[in-house]
Amino acid sequence: MKTRIAADTPAALGYRMPAEWEPQRATWLAWPHNRTDWPGKFEPIPYVYAEIVRHLARAARVELIVNDSGAEARARNILTNANVLPTLQPRIGFHQWATNRGWLRDSGPIFVRDKAGSVALTNWKFNAWAKYKDWQLDNALPEKIARQRGCKSFEATADAGGYAAKDAAPVADAGRQMVLEGGSIDVNGRGLLLTTEECLLSTVQQRNPGMTREQIEAALGRMLGVKKVLWLERGIVGDDTHGHVDDIARFVGPRTVLAASEADPEDPNHAILKENLKRLKKMTDTAGRALEVISLPMPSPVVFKGQRVPASYANFYISNRTVLVPTFDDANDLKALNIIQQAMPKHSIVPIYCGDLIWGLGAIHCMTQQEPAEG
């Protein structure tokens, strides 16, 4: 049982995080520049981005972050070579803000919308997955985006903020900015949120030490309008984000979840994904109705320089009746595309080859962040 909701929280003001398939004004992206994300394989990456921008700009506006004027010139040159500019120029905006990396799903803001259609954003701390020391530029992006868009910004803090469960223990360092990456959660826009224990609850990964499951659920409730958190166990092999859910299970409808499944019992992902599927099939929505769980195959293991990378078809991105799906020149590509098409029959399904992009340990969903449409 929960106590009162503080009057100035997004939930109390009627805001909620919309589902990804709800109308969008724009997709935010950061043009790639950090070669250490793709060591020895950076050259094709800007052209992969160009192909993604081409399809996204047809679905909604694209807000493209570049480091400086020189970076903008280089991006414009590649977009022109790829025949994205000047054709789609009116639908692409450039913003010269320095970044550490380009994974906007995690470093960018998480947008919310109220019943009247007003859009605001929630600002969480980004600490580079508790792995790297250079994250300060990325952490500043939500504030810059809020100023550019002229919208209200809510800072997420680690204290219970009036939404704590009764008798909850105090949060260590209450009032500090809470860490959350957009790739660690997925919502249905109607009160449900999917995440993993590996990512949000691990004390080893140092995202929010001292916060309990109950307190994390409370924070998600007050910031994103979440009414029920669905906890999966862990993420796939090769995922250096410590279990992001956008590689394993995604909402494609109010009660429909596409969940990654590995058929090969010898593959280490087999047991991981089997446990997650088992949990999903026991889960219900806020009204107590069972979820519809649809299995999505995994591609064959993708290995580069001896390292397995987190290749998954679940890392797709939805924008205004368009779904961009990562493919890997694999026998399961077509099967996965057909399953996604059947689950979302009114959407255009667009395959994007991500065999090079995934060497950066992320794919299409990891690099995108949606801004909902107003009204």
Asked if residue 98 lies in contact with residue 140, where contact means CB atoms within 8 angstroms, the answer is no
Angle, nearest 10°, between helix axes 45-59 and 69-81? 80
Domains of the chain: 24-372 (3.75.10.10)
Task: Tell me the C-alpha distance between 70 and 169, whole Å.
Answer: 51
Which residues share a beta bridge with 19?
Answer: none
Task: Tell me the C-alpha distance between 196 and 28, whole Å.
Answer: 25
- pLDDT of res. 35: 95
| Per-residue tens of pLDDT for the chain, all 375 residues | 343 445 689 999 999 999 999 999 999 999 999 999 999 999 999 999 999 999 999 999 999 999 999 999 999 999 999 999 999 999 999 999 999 999 999 999 999 999 999 999 999 999 999 899 999 999 999 999 999 999 999 999 876 443 333 334 445 555 689 999 999 999 999 999 999 999 999 876 678 988 999 999 999 999 999 999 999 999 999 999 999 999 999 999 999 999 999 999 999 999 999 999 999 999 999 999 999 999 999 999 999 999 999 999 999 999 999 999 999 999 999 999 999 999 999 999 999 999 999 999 999 999 999 999 998
Secondary structure (DSSP) of 73-85: HHHHHHHHHTT-T
Return the structure tokens found at 152.
């209200």
- pLDDT of res. 174: 56
Task: Tell me the C-alpha distance between 239 and 255, whole Å.
Answer: 26
- pLDDT of res. 8: 87
- pLDDT of res. 158: 79
Of the candidates 166, 173, 189, 178, the residue with the CA atom closest to the CA atom of residue 219: 178
| Secondary structure (3-state) at 216 | helix
- pLDDT of res. 20: 98
Task: Tell me the C-alpha distance between 313 and 193, whole Å.
Answer: 20
Of the candidates 314, 295, 307, the residue with the CA atom closest to the CA atom of residue 235: 314
Residue 194 phi, psi dihedral angles, 5° rounding: -100, 135
Q: Which residue numbers are catalytic?
A: 366
The C-alpha angle with vertex 36 and arms to 180 and 135, in degrees rounded to 5, equals 30
- pLDDT of res. 173: 54
